Chains A and B, each alone.
Chain A
Amino acid sequence: MPKTRFTQIGRAIPRREDRRLLTGNGRYVDDIEIPGALHACFVRSPHPHARIVRIDAKAALAMPGVAAVLTGADLAQWTTPLRVAPPIEGLHPVEMTTLPVDKVRFHGDPVACVIARDRYLAEDAAERVEVEYAPLPAVANADQALAEGTALVDESLPSNLVSEQRFSTGDVFARRREAHRVVESAFSQHRQTHLPIETRGCAALWDEGREHLTLHIGSQVPHPLRTQLAARMRLSESQVTISSLDVGGGFGQKIALYREELTVAAASRHLRRPVRWREDRMENLLAASHAREELCRTRAAVTDDGRLLGLELEILEDFGAYCFYPANYLARVVAMILTGPYKVSDYAFVVRVVLTNKCGSGPMRAPMSITSWVMEGTMDAIARELKLDPLEVRRRNMVAAAELPYTMPTGEVIADITPRETLEAAVTRVEYAQFRERQAAARREGRYLGLGLCSVVESTTYGSRFYKAAGIPGSGHEAAWVRIEPSGAVNASLGLGASGQGYETAFSQVVGEGLGVDPASVRIHLGNTDVAPYGMGSRGARGGTAGGATLFLCARDANEKMLAIAAKLLGFDSSEGLRMVEGKVVREVLGERIDTGISFAQLARTAYLDPTALPAGMAPGLDFSRTYDPPPMTYSNAAHVCEVELDVETGAVRILRYVVAEDCGTVLSPVVVEGQQHGAVAMGLSGALLEHMLYDEAAQNITGSLADYLVATATDLPRFEILPMHTPSRGNPVGTKGMAEGGVMGAIGAISNAVNDALAPFGVVAERQPLSPDYLRSLLRGKTP
């Protein structure tokens, strides 16, 4: 790993994208001016489950300025349904039309689309569309979904159990029999949503003459989105351009091609007019995408000193009404990587996913968010039952540096991670032993402090071999190009979709490093599928690892060619000893640098405008592209420690301290990495304490505004103390390991463990989130310390 030679990678440079965003000059979807654009507004179902009997649009169509009212039947003629049917054992294939044709499946399901002169009129007209429904019994939760004789959410399936997988290695039953104790725990995570502050939205422009569709949209995955959109519009990929400029947050919500977006695109082609749509917040809460509703149970067979002999996991996930992704995909990853940094060889899991009459689920920043809470909560449960110190239980089970690479029971290999080092650093920082004394003293005064530990092993970057092994279709590769123009200006691109991660900054550093030029001279072009190469986009935490490595390798290709030209100009046989340093070619002789007088710009000029001066056989120009497929899986790691005070009278939790020791390998931009750490921990804490997408018993969504769906503000969150402990990965050309989701995983676990530590004197355990005052009070009712 070429660690020490980096001069640009890892420098703390303020972000290049800031200026336009700070001055109101960003270009988010809705900022793009499109003359003559019509506006779309969706008519949505008030019922969680109902047959569509009749749609009467006469009154709406009679309003001046209303161009069309489109229904599922219209869209079915113009578009192809989405079929999700990967060959995975235990996963049922499913299909969905662009808009529902015969029945609606959740409160907020779109049934018709009004297209009108402006948004106000479109909304008025939507109210005039009369839809007659015949309500059906609704499935409001996972238990109901599995009950005998229950309604079917998807009538093409034999039951609501859309996916079930089992796995077992070793002999967990034997381990249970020989165990000193079998410790059982439960973890119930609640439904949440991504809540980007910019809602979804798009603008479609159909060019009838060229038969070409341009879709402006905020997307994390421009090329995969284009593939889907083209296929479902029955167009070729050469007839569609996706353009995603500034994106006001994604967090996983801006990956799928949603039905609304496809409808808007189809409407534009049908009407031969530009059509745009801006989702309102209520629609975003009700009908964009939800996440995280899952119940996990573990059974740990342990020795009397807290060593893990065997582990069993059950997951039951409520996936909502529609599958935009294979239903097994999120929960399956949790089961695959559950054991994280802990050693155990006998392991079994069963993962079941059910459909209910709620908004469909998808990946949300850390789709496997519950993993660390489940594993670390299990560690705490072991400590509790055996009356051992929770830190000690962790130390006894955690893999040591000498034992790496370590193969998890599922076959996943962890290497180049530092769980012990980060854990010890974090507990040293919070003065663990002294905390226990403070905690005891506070308890004597009737104050309840709690400390929660949570180690995280974050699966950041999926290589194609992981997908293949897991039976999931997909590629993990990334693509990049670097072009040096005749003037020496540098353009570069890759297939990621930015939504606030500072790519233009971090990747200009990567290109600057690879080329040996000032990052300020490099321009990164993202988000337009006609410009960017076909990459897999931004999901998981692959940007820095897959994207950074691809771009670095591509820039090195460019550097190599330029130095070969330099050698020719200097009359040398080879470029050995030549290097580009700050835009100048130098020769290294016995550790000394001698300026050759040749500049980067001169080489660029030569490459394009004086091809006869190039080495024999070399093609003119400086145009490079490259793809790279990372190892099957890349892991980074961290240790989180959270200190809370629980007010036992009110149930309120106050976070007193929050420490993260993290190792994410080579850091491209320390500025960006720290920001991602803050943001991820904040999202985890906000979800664990406040956010809750609530449906009533009849499956009506009762969280349609930000007054109902609570999210953390500046007064709810602490100051985060970050301990950077980065050690490079040997599996990546740049040494990066990825990050940005682990913060969520750690926060969910650390806060829960801290609250349970505070609750310990009362003999109760919080097994579900959110850790709301109501819930904590209900646990404490009638209990005394």
Chain B
Amino acid sequence: MDTVDFELSVNGERHAVRAEPRKLLTDVLREDCRLTGTHVGCEHGVCGACTVLVDGRPARACLLYAVQMRGHEITTIEAIAKDGVLSPLQQALHEVHGLQCGFCTAGIVMTFEAYLKENPRPTEEEIRDVLSGNLCRCTGYQNIVEAVLKVVHA
């Protein structure tokens, strides 16, 4: 299949990409931009592990083609800690043990970084509702909920 050349803006940096138009955003981020923090858990839009921000809104990178992202700004987990300082949510996840194997974690962080900007005071029920779009096989979710609540009540 023929490749196309395009530019991708990720975490404020421009990447010149040459890839087949069918190449998924997950694969381009991981292989071409060498940002492997975005994980792939299902490639069919269910697990949420691949969640990134497109123009500030959460999106499943496994359901997008990278070429579609021309003209959009993509944010990945690599841009969340600033100057080596964890974001309040990352810090809370660390403090209350909200991650085990860590494979789902980037997707969860990205989901809530965006959500909490628009809804800074969610209830536990609302948090669980939003979190239900991300699968975690390790934690039973409780400490993830706890971490978000910690940020909310900080």
Contacts and interface: CB of A to CB of B under 8 A. Distances in A.
Contacts of B138: 249, 500, 675, 679
B35 interface: yes
Contacts of B25: none
B37 to A, nearest CB: 2
Interface stretch (B53-61, B66-74, B93-101, B114-122): B93-101
B131 A23 contact: no
A246 B99 CA distance: 13
A281 B50 CA distance: 13
Contact of A707 (B41, B43, B46, B140): B46
B128 A715 contact: yes
A547 interface: no
B111 to A, nearest CB: 11
Given A705-B44, A713-B132, A249 B103 contact: yes
B10 interface: no
B90 interface: yes
B contact residues, range: 35 or more
B99 A22 contact: yes
B46 A705 contact: yes
B109 interface: yes
A8 interface: no
A290 to B, nearest CB: 16
A21 B105 CA distance: 7
Nearest to B62: A281
A499 B141 CA distance: 17
Contact of B135 (A27, A672, A713, A715): A713
B43 A281 contact: yes
B94 A679 contact: no
A512 interface: no
B41 A679 contact: no
A767 interface: no
A738 interface: no
Contact of A24 (B20, B35, B40): B35
Interface in A23-56: 23-28, 30-31, 33
A717 interface: yes
B136 to A, nearest CB: 7
Contact of B132 (A33, A278, A502, A715): A715
B135 A197 contact: yes
Contacts of B40: 30, 278
Interface residues of A, number: 55
B51 interface: no
B78 interface: yes
A14 B95 contact: yes
A280 interface: yes
Contacts of A608: none
Contacts of B37: 23-26
A683 interface: yes
Nearest to B100: A500
Given A281-B47, A713-B134, A715-B128, 19 more contacts: A15-B94, A21-B101, A22-B86, A23-B90, A31-B30, A197-B47, A198-B39, A248-B102, A500-B100, A500-B101, A675-B138, A678-B139, A681-B140, A682-B141, A706-B135, A707-B46, A714-B129, A717-B141, A720-B140
Interface of B: 1, 20, 22-23, 27, 30, 34-44, 46-47, 49, 76-78, 80-81, 86, 90, 93-95, 97, 99-106, 109, 127-129, 131-145
29 contacts: A14-B97, A15-B97, A21-B102, A22-B102, A26-B103, A28-B36, A120-B1, A120-B23, A197-B101, A197-B103, A199-B41, A246-B101, A246-B102, A248-B101, A249-B101, A278-B40, A678-B143, A679-B137, A679-B138, A682-B139, A682-B140, A705-B42, A705-B44, A706-B44, A706-B46, A714-B127, A714-B145, A715-B132, A717-B140
